[in-house]
Amino acid sequence: MAQAIPFRLVSRLKAPCHHCSLSNLCLPLAIEENDLDRLEDIVEQGRIFNRGEQIFDQSMPFRACFAVKSGAIKTSIITETGEEQVTGFFMPGELVGLDSIGTEHYACTARALERTSVCEFPVDKLKELTSKLPELQHHMYHLMSQEIQNSHQLSMLLSKNTAEERIAALLLSLSSRFRRRRMSPTTFSLPMARNDIANFLGLAVETVSRVFTRFQNQGIIKARGREVELLDIKALQMGSRELSRQSHNR
Amino acid sequence: MAQAIPFRLVSRLKAPCHHCSLSNLCLPLAIEENDLDRLEDIVEQGRIFNRGEQIFDQSMPFRACFAVKSGAIKTSIITETGEEQVTGFFMPGELVGLDSIGTEHYACTARALERTSVCEFPVDKLKELTSKLPELQHHMYHLMSQEIQNSHQLSMLLSKNTAEERIAALLLSLSSRFRRRRMSPTTFSLPMARNDIANFLGLAVETVSRVFTRFQNQGIIKARGREVELLDIKALQMGSRELSRQSHNR
DNA sequence: GTATATATTTGACATGGATCAAATCGGGCG
DNA sequence: CGCCCGATTTGATCCATGTCAAATATATAC
């Protein structure tokens, strides 16, 4: 379900970034046509992970960033006491692993939420390339500062907003990210389980579930399992000023 | 009060990074002796701000990052509804403004918590320099990813921990940052008001106040106003696994 | 030094969301 | 096709923390 990109794209052979449907969202967008080959030279394309499979793990030495090609990924921190904290969801065109650049090991664990294909950018080569291509360097800084800002927005959401507002904000954030991919911003299927939503938003699963039904009763959304339809965007925006216009990787 | 660095350092004249007591904490730590002049060439030193003065503001075009030389800075986001969310506290040797690199405008507002002197690094020159000095580039990436991680830790603290645990974590974080500067990790004065602590940790002021007195009654800390003494570090660490070993800019 | 504003503390009370328990749904598999 | 297991929903209850109000302490100004 929710497989955005047709299957044939995912061979391990080099498929040029030129032809990727995400090239205007992903790293290539920062780069001139004629420098694009240099990015293509360093990228490893088309690795596939099944639902629940781990892309990398907190304990592994940091080697590469990953761009989501299709599917979706969640990142989380596991504490010494074994608790999980989901720190982010990543959709096609978005770059995973930025929080680990400059550390020896990955700073979090990344797991596929559904069947997911990724492109892999080895950091050493990526860093090398950024010193040669100022636009790419700028873009990397941009993505990283964006991620800091997103995380601050999340903190704000967690510390100031009610359960309803948090969930509304998440739905709107997903909506705008689907729109960027020219998919319906009102009807889509959630890549993650209620559990992940709860964890990410600092709520109990039961609360998430209750809010979903409350929204449904109020005619704000229609939800059946992971399939959702946003019926009243205005109502969602009301009181969820936070994540709403978040820029998510561009 | 709590002026870490003697006053004579703060002239506007170029005081070489070589001689700065923070050179092993701040940007210079990433750079070879003989490249240090190039950093000194671009830095503007010794601007002073009084308590409450604003270093930069969300609406201003982004121009520079600031290293704290003495004093302390808080950063916060102001929402459209005028609410404030404190996103961080910055102590001497730490770099403010990383969340704005790669955006047109500052992503937050920075304000001096006490009399504070800063060094200013214009971004354009900094970026130029980073493409020439790989170590500096690496260090910038490191600082930024560190900041993402810190922010994730904060999210975790906000979504999973009790008021007591959050405050314990903040005290321990400050403690470790004072230690880095070779100041007492157990007796120091808080640069920020209870209000800022509350806002940062997503609590009501009253709750912060109550937790402080509770800790005091339990013999875990001694606090009179902003002066605190940590009496039982173990007790503070108990249940505040989160921010405790945070790396804060290194 | 005294006065006024601001920050902090303390108390009483209300409540959103957590927790515990149990029912129902839904999908994968034999 | 029906069974089983995890995911989701629903209900009942409780508690940590927010909110409102007021007293006290501390800082700033005059």
Contact A127 B144 (CB under 8 A): no
Q: What is the pLDDT of residues A96-128, one digit of tens each?
A: 999 999 899 999 999 999 999 999 999 999 999
pLDDT band of B90, cuts 50, 70, 90: very high
Q: What is the pLDDT of residues A192-229, one digit of tens each?
A: 999 999 999 999 999 999 999 999 999 999 999 999 99
Chain B CB within 8 Å of residue A242 CB: yes
pLDDT value for A15: 62
Mean pLDDT of B96-107: 93
Q: What is the pLDDT of residues A21-71, one digit of tens each?
A: 898 889 999 898 889 988 988 998 878 999 999 999 999 999 999 999 999
Phi, then psi, of B235 in degrees rounded to 5: -60, -35
pLDDT band of A81, cuts 50, 70, 90: confident
Distance B2 CA to D17 C1' (A): 32
- For the stretch B7-16, contacts whose Cβ atoms lie closer than 8 Å and that sit 24 or more positions apart, written own/partner, are B9/B46, B9/B69, B9/B70, B9/B117, B10/B46, B10/B48, B10/B69, B10/B70, B10/B117, B11/B46, B12/B45, B12/B46, B12/B47, B13/B45, B13/B46, B14/B40, B14/B45, B15/B45, B15/B46, B16/B40
Q: What DSSP letter does each residue of B14-62 carry, written as one string?
A: ---GGG-TTTTTSGGGGS-GGGHHHHHHH-EEEEEE-TT-EEE-TTSBP
Helix (H) or strand (E) holding B244: none
pLDDT band of B14, cuts 50, 70, 90: low
Chain B CB within 8 Å of residue A162 CB: no
Q: What is the pLDDT of residues A178-196, one digit of tens each?
A: 999 999 999 999 999 999 9
Angle at A78 between CA A74 and CA A80, to 5 degrees: 180
Token duo for residue A229: 């339809």
Chain A CB within 8 Å of residue B195 CB: no
Q: Which residues of A touch B108 (CB under 8 A)?
A: 152
How far is it, in rounded angstroms, from Cα B144 to Cα A145?
A: 7
Are the CB atoms for A74 and A88 separated by under 8 Å?
yes
Size of interface A-B (CB pairs under 8 A): 151
Contact B127 A137 (CB under 8 A): yes
Q: How far, in whole angstroms, is CA B137 from its chain's centroid?
A: 21
Measured CA to CA in angstroms, residue A215 lies from A108, A207, A211, A235 at distances of 32, 12, 6, 10
Token duo for residue A208: 């998430």
pLDDT band of B23, cuts 50, 70, 90: confident
Q: Give percent of chain A above pLDDT 70.
A: 89
How far is it, in rounded angstroms, from Cα B234 to Cα B237?
A: 5
How far is it, in rounded angstroms, from Cα A145 to Cα A247?
A: 11
Mean pLDDT of B100-111: 94
Contact flag, residue A246 CB and nucleic strand C, below 7 A: no
Closest chain B CA to residue A155: B155
Closest CA–CA distance from residue B11 to any residue of chain A (Å): 32
Q: Give percent of chain B above pLDDT 70.
A: 89
Chain B CB within 8 Å of residue A79 CB: yes
Contact A102 B144 (CB under 8 A): yes
The structure's pTM equals 0.88
Distance A64 CA to D5 C1' (A): 37
Contact B137 A127 (CB under 8 A): yes
Q: Does the pLDDT at position A14 exceed 70?
A: no
Contact A142 B103 (CB under 8 A): yes
pLDDT value for A21: 87
Contact flag, residue A163 CB and nucleic strand D, below 7 A: no
Contact flag, residue A193 CB and nucleic strand D, below 7 A: yes
Closest chain B CA to residue A86: B156
pLDDT band of B201, cuts 50, 70, 90: very high
Q: Does the pLDDT at position B243 exceed 50?
A: no
Chain A residues 139-158 with CB within 8 Å of chain B: 139-149, 151-156, 158
Q: What is the pLDDT of residues B118-127, one digit of tens each?
A: 999 999 999 9
